[in-house]
Amino acid sequence: MARILVATVPLTGHVEPMRLVVRALIARGHEVQWAAARKFAARIEATGATYLPPDEAPDWDDGDVDSALPVLHGRTGLARIKAELLEMFIRPMGAQLRDLEAAAARFAPDAIVADQAHLGAALFAERRRIPWASLGISALGIPSVDTAPFGPGWPLPRRTPAGRIRNRLLYAIVHRLLFGSVTRAYRRARVAAGFPAGRRSYFDFLSPDVHLQPTVASFEYPRSDLPRQVRFIGPLVPPAPAAAVLPAWWPELLAAHARGTPIVLVTQGTLATDPAALIEPTLAGLAGEEVFTVATCGRPLAAPAPVNARVAAFIPYAALLPLVRVMVTNAGYGGVQMALQHGVPLVAAGGTEEKPEIAARIAWCGAGLDLHTGTPTPGEVRAATLRVLATPKFRDRARGLAVEMEPLHGPENAATEIERVIAQLRDRV
């Protein structure tokens, strides 16, 4: 049995996949203590882990990020992305480290497992020299000679000599110009926490021991220089609930499916929740089409849903996705992987955070279309959705990825990899 310290930033999309990993670790007899925002205390304790509330690290609610982090209010595009990197991930790293050090003084962990955005965990592992497993919660963003820089969803991979020259130029533009201030802030935060500034950027962040990427290799860009510690473990998808609570209109959906009417799901995930961005344009765009549109949305809509649409705050995806023909999404990583696990092709409208990169990979791997905007018009959504419905190659590719994912059990694979790096350190000692 090992003592494992877990750390996550205050984002639902980072906590939920980690819960599956923690459950697998505890089922194998390991003792887990988990540092996270208070919002997630009950969910963490339900896994069997000991919950550690923050002392110095930020403790905000991702249900309303602009209120929690006022500096983000009104910012869009590149300015928004840079502000998010600074406020959510870089500035908290010293405080995160101090909380982890205090926890370790009481717990004496054998390893630390953290989502890839928890920079305090990286500092902790660097100082303590204990095994560290980073968990991917988005598309793989590490630099490569074969890809453009991560972030804007820029041109797709090129592995030719000319393509690699292009990539080097794009890295220079991104890291020195567009995100130069972010890199400088990252290095200053390292120094403030008692570490050398180093020469790495925020985008180089990866555990040297093992990085757990919750997808299959075919979803990611091929890299000739892929670090050896990267493991594609398969999706981290929650199991179907024993007793799913379904909306009152569920029989209508089943009847539509039985008639052969395509079911279209539209969702914006847990962070970007303003329905005006994607849900409302999708409902409007598909209002006159022969489809049954389902929207998962926890906020009020500006107008009543069209007659061919139904809305619910939450529906268990395990019940819904087997019926869905196309998912319209703002390209949240977890939802995309869940759709692909069910062989559902996608229409992606990713415009915030790292979502343009996820949308670009959906198009690159052939499992759907990228609208290249986070705020499409109703006409753009309608045209893309109808094209995916009418073009078998998108569903064929999504089903091919589902076949790859089927034999992979992400939580068990993650636990096995974590145990492996712990055992390697013990062998060296």
Higher pLDDT, 268 or 258: 258
> Which pTM was predicted?
0.92
| For range 10-34, the mean pLDDT | 96
Which of 176-180, 243-247, 313-317 ranks highest by mean pLDDT? Answer: 313-317
Beta bridge partners of 404: none
- Compute the average pLDDT of residues 31-39: 97
Closest to 402 in 3D by CA, of 248, 273, 229, 216 = 216
Whether the predicted pLDDT of 366 surpasses 90? yes
Residue 133 has a pLDDT of: 97
pLDDT band at 179 (very low <50, low <70, confident <90, very high): confident
> Which residues have a Cβ under 8 Å from the Cβ of 7 and sit 6 or more positions away?
34, 35, 36, 96, 100, 112, 113, 114, 115, 118, 120, 121, 124
Tokens of 307: 């007659």
Indicate the angle between helix axes 333-341 and 392-405, nearest 10 degrees. Answer: 90
Give the Cβ contact number of residue 244 at 10 Å: 12
Segment 301-333, tens digit of pLDDT: 878 899 999 999 888 888 899 999 999 999 999
Per-residue model confidence (pLDDT) at position 177: 81
The pLDDT value recorded for residue 222 is 92
The reported pLDDT for the residue numbered 426 is: 67
pLDDT band, very low/low/confident/very high, at 425 (cuts 50, 70, 90): confident
pLDDT attached to residue 271: 61
Residue 367 has pLDDT above 90, yes or no: yes
- SS in 3 state form for 126-175? HHHCCCEEEECCCCCCCCCCCCCCCCCCCCCCCCCHHHHHHHHHHHHHHH
Nearest in space to 299 (alpha carbons), one of 282, 314, 287, 283? 314
Q: Torsions phi, psi of 148, nearest 5? A: -70, 165
Average per-residue pLDDT for the chain: 91
Assigned fold of 250-405: Rossmann fold (3.40.50)
* Interatomic CA distance for residues 331 and 139, integer angstroms: 10
Q: Of 44, 50, 51, which is closest to residue 31 (Cα–Cα)? A: 50
Q: What is the pLDDT of residue 213?
A: 97
Going by pLDDT thresholds of 50, 70 and 90, the confidence category of residue 211 is very high
Cα 4 to Cα 49: distance, rounded to the nearest angstrom? 10
Residue bearing tokens 């039985």: 258
| Secondary structure of residue 354 in the 3-state scheme | coil
Domains 3-237+408-428 and 250-405 share a fold: yes
Name which residue leads in pLDDT, 163 or 427: 163
User: Tokens for 206?
Assistant: 């990866």
pLDDT at 199: 86
Q: pLDDT of 375-420, one tens digit each?
A: 999 999 999 999 999 999 999 999 999 999 999 999 999 999 999 9
- Confidence at residue 380, expressed as pLDDT on a 0 to 100 scale: 97
**428: pLDDT strictly greater than 60:** no
Q: Can you name the residues that pair with 314 across neighbouring β-strands? A: none
What CATH number is given for 3-237+408-428 in this structure? 3.40.50.2000
What is the rounded distance in angstroms from the CA atom of residue 194 to the CA atom of residue 366? 46
pLDDT of residue 270: 61
Q: Judging by DSSP bridges, how do beta strands 263-267 and 230-232 pair with one another?
A: unpaired
User: In the chain, where are the structural domains located?
Assistant: 3-237+408-428, 250-405
Q: Considering only 32-36, 51-55, 149-153, 385-389, which range has the smallest mean pLDDT? A: 149-153
* Residue pLDDT, tens place only, 268-301: 876 667 888 899 999 999 998 999 999 998 778 8
Mean pLDDT value across residues 172-195: 90
List, for residues 97-155, the tens digit of each pLDDT value: 999 999 999 999 999 999 999 999 999 999 988 999 999 999 998 888 998 888 777 76
